């Protein structure tokens, strides 16, 4: 395999509604440089070892995840132990991590960022030994919403809010027990978030004290409460979510979360199925990512 300074791993199923294919924009941008590069197509069933093999054989210095949140998570998870920089070309409907990092959501500007030199260290959260989260993962309400629009086969904010309204009509609380720092806490929860970042792509900030490179993560619990939705929604968009009476936040480096009954789990926007237990451990400065 030929050497390449930059390898683009692109999910062709992302950004399919664009007038100009992302691959064409990449080639146009790279043609104006003398940087060697390679473009590899990947899908959701692509294996981490395949990504690692390509990166090692090309001797790449920068690895770019070109796709939605799932593609970014897949590529980032595969290169945690490799001496390369991560670039993000956001092609999905949410692009949560890119938004959190301030990466432009237009392809042309994001490509400029990839060719730049400014970087930031990024923590990762190991989930149940075999998965990683770089942004947000949660149990309960939001994961139920994601399951709804995945089953319908539609993406985008309109599809999300359609299913959010459906879930909101029948919110289901569950027993949630958190073991962290030698202590045990139990609550009724509508949603339990494991947060490496501050908020969702919708602009809702549920963890304003969270930073993606501080070597810690937060567990945020949304408890049932009278008129909870309106109060919490306003607070999430005014920076006051963490001060609400039905919100509990725990600062952690590791934790075990047990729920009863089992709940849907999503990691960085990707559904993982129902779980009764989630173990989370921080990996400080797991990646070096290119930012504007």
Same domain, 56 and 155: no
- In terms of domains, do 168 and 275 share one? yes
The range of the structural domain enclosing residue 71 comes to 6-117
Please indicate, yes or no, whether residues 55 and 184 belong to a single structural domain of this protein: no
Q: CB within 8 A of 53, min separation 6: which ones?
A: none
What's residue 238's pLDDT?
Answer: 82
Q: Are residues 113 and 135 in the same domain?
A: no
Domain count, the chain: 2
32-44 tens-digit pLDDT: 999 999 999 998 8
Q: Kindly indicate the confidence band of residue 45, based on its pLDDT and cuts at 50, 70 and 90.
A: confident
**135/98 same-domain check:** no
Residues 114-130: tens digit of each pLDDT: 999 999 999 999 999 99
Residue 94 tokens, joined: 């949410």
Give the CATH number, domain containing residue 91: 3.40.50.10330
Give the pLDDT confidence of 214-232 residue by residue, as tens digits. Answer: 999 999 999 998 878 778 8
Same domain, 147 and 276: yes
CATH of residue 260's domain is: 2.60.200.40
> Which pLDDT value is given to residue 153?
65
* Distances from the Cα of 208 to the Cα of 104, 194, 220, 269, angstroms: 21, 13, 11, 20
Dump pLDDT digits (tens) for 48-67: 999 999 999 999 999 999 99
Last residue of a domain, one of 59, 92, 117: 117
Contact indicator for 261, 63 with CB cutoff of 8 Å: no
158 with 256, same domain: the answer is yes
Residue 291 lies in a domain: no
Residue 279 and residue 143 share a domain: yes
């Amino acid at each position: 395999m030929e050497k390449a300074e930059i390898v683009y791993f692109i999910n062709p199923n992302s950004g399919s509604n664009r007038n100009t294919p992302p691959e064409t924009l990449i080639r146009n941008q790279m043609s104006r440089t003398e940087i060697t590069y390679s473009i590899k197509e990947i899908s959701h069933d692509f294996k981490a070892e395949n990504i690692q093999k390509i990166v090692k054989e090309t001797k790449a210095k920068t690895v770019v995840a070109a796709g939605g949140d799932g593609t970014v998570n897949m590529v980032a998870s595969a290169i945690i132990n490799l001496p390369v920089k991560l670039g993000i070309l956001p092609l999905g409907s949410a692009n949560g991590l890119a938004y959190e990092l301030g990466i432009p959501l237009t392809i042309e500007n994001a490509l400029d960022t990839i060719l730049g030199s400014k970087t930031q260290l990024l923590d990762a959260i190991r989930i149940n030994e075999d998965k990683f989260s770089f942004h947000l993962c949660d149990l309960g309400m939001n994961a139920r919403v994601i399951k709804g629009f995945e089953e319908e086969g539609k993406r985008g904010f309109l599809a999300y809010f359609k299913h959010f309204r459906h879930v909101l009509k029948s919110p289901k609380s569950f027993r949630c027990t958190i073991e962290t720092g030698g202590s045990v806490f139990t609550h009724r929860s509508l949603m339990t978030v494991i947060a490496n970042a501050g908020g969702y792509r919708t602009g809702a900030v549920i963890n304003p004290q969270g930073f993606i490179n501080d070597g810690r993560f937060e567990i945020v619990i949304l408890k049932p409460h009278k008129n909870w939705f309106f109060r919490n929604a306003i607070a999430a968009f005014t920076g006051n979510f963490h001060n609400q009476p039905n919100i509990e936040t725990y600062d952690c480096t590791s934790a075990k979360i047990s729920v009863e009954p089992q709940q849907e789990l999503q990691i960085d926007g990707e559904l993982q199925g129902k779980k009764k237990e989630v173990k989370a451990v921080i990996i400080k400065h797991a990646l070096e990512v290119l930012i504007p």
